[in-house]
A and B are shown apart, each in its own frame.
Chain A
């Protein structure tokens, strides 16, 4: 039996100034799953993702990526992960082609392999007319496409998307949904965080809701969204937020 794509056990993250961002999170995502990771701002979603990808140092707990320890065997583990972060952590003076090509290089892809993959991603995300412009000159939607292409350049097995459609127009959102569904069908494991519940409901088969640094609820989409009020009601109940009486009418 193959190990889970991602297994987090008792993860805790306390920042240097004492802020507890993640109290205690454990979850297991099987290979090939499309996993929705929901929660309000500040619940600990991005911090968890940062611990998985090496941007943050876990204070306690273990993280395994396809059975490899993400801290001890970090180089081997990171080869399998692609991250599309919530914020644009990109050199603003570089162009999309360079940004994606450099990332492929960091992951050890040879020049010919990089060229063909970058060509494919530029085409797929309709970036060809913009590939020589500086990143800072691009619109918000185009910037998002570049960051997505960068996350996918090395063809990772586990794709982590931290609010990939925030501030993105409907057209790109649909392009992205189609692409994600397609690569998930091809066997890629996807971890998606989003504040758009309809997006999660449409794409994900498993869902975890995080609140105050802990998993408040976890299950299949049908288990969580199947009750009265659907996913929104389940989300509000799990996070302790009150339903809007106007929306509820």
Chain B
């Protein structure tokens, strides 16, 4: 046994799989919070903006208003699901201290991060696909490019999953945990082009859209779904990949330093 332990360990696949199993089990304890709440909220958005308000708005780029809005609704919920999953999982495990179970185990930092992100992508994708199914029921969901749709779902989930990990490690109270959602995620996603094109904004306010990272995520998924792009497609993809690398490196560094994890 000791001789065996002297061997350098490869990837701990079983450990990684256990992290995913465990987090899925935790997530399934609160299915209403995890899935039903965002689906109901999306349904209300679809109803109000698709039928109540949308009927009075002209087509945008040859698309019905509901078709234009739906990708943004998907993206808003994907972002929220990803952020809430990782931030609450990390914070709760720190708060109760069962994060120590993974600290004493033979898991590398990369495995710990990959385990968390796998569940983030799973939850965000199930949330997003659920809303797409609703869109199909309302005749508003179209997919121009499945690979691009998959790219946006997975990469944006990962970006906000990583941000959620950072916030989960930094927070010292539930109040702090909720601050980014209230002051950052909700406002920026609302003004990130879910409901309007950049052209609809007054000229002096358009810089706000260009400076808002959510605009590129929403624009990207809209391009994948209905082929309506307001920026060159490569720009959003490039920004997303850079965000992934920067945030991934930051989270890895925080794990290696034990920030928020180790005493």
Contacts and interface: CB of A to CB of B under 8 A. Distances in A.
Interface string B94-106: 0011111111111
Given A83-B104, A102-B22, A66 B97 contact: no
Interface centre among A85, A93, A106, A155 (most CB of B within 10 A): A106
A74 B107 CA distance: 9
Given A68-B6, A78-B105, A83-B104, A102 B263 contact: no
A79 interface: yes
B206 interface: no
Interface in A27-71: 47, 50, 53-57, 66-68
B108 interface: yes
Interface in B1-35: 1-2, 5-9, 12, 14-15, 17-19, 21-22, 25-26, 29
Contact of A68 (B5, B25, B104): B5
Nearest to A113: B14
Contact of B14 (A15, A47, A56, A109): A109
A76 interface: yes
Given A15-B263, A103-B101, A108-B12, A66 B2 contact: yes
A85 B108 CA distance: 21
Given A76-B106, A93-B29, A105-B15, A57 B98 contact: no
B253 interface: no
Contact of B2 (A98, A150, A157): A157
Contacts, number: 103
Given A50-B263, A55-B104, A102-B101, A76 B96 contact: no
A80 B106 CA distance: 9
A106 B15 contact: yes
Interface residues on B, range: 35 or more
B258 interface: yes
Given A15-B263, A56-B263, A91-B98, A79 B5 contact: yes
Interface in A80-102: 80-81, 83, 85, 87, 89-94, 98, 102
A83 B26 CA distance: 23
Most buried by A among B17, B19, B105, B258: B105
B6 A76 contact: yes
A107 interface: yes
B263 A91 contact: no
A105 B18 contact: yes
Given A55-B100, A55-B104, A89-B96, A108 B15 contact: yes
A205 interface: no
Interface string B46-79: 0000000000000000000000000000000000
Contact of A105 (B2, B7, B17): B17
Interface of B: 1-2, 5-9, 12, 14-15, 17-19, 21-22, 25-26, 29, 93, 96-108, 258, 262-263
Given A75-B108, A76-B8, 14 more contacts: A54-B104, A55-B262, A56-B262, A56-B263, A57-B262, A77-B5, A80-B2, A89-B96, A91-B96, A92-B96, A98-B22, A103-B105, A106-B106, A109-B14
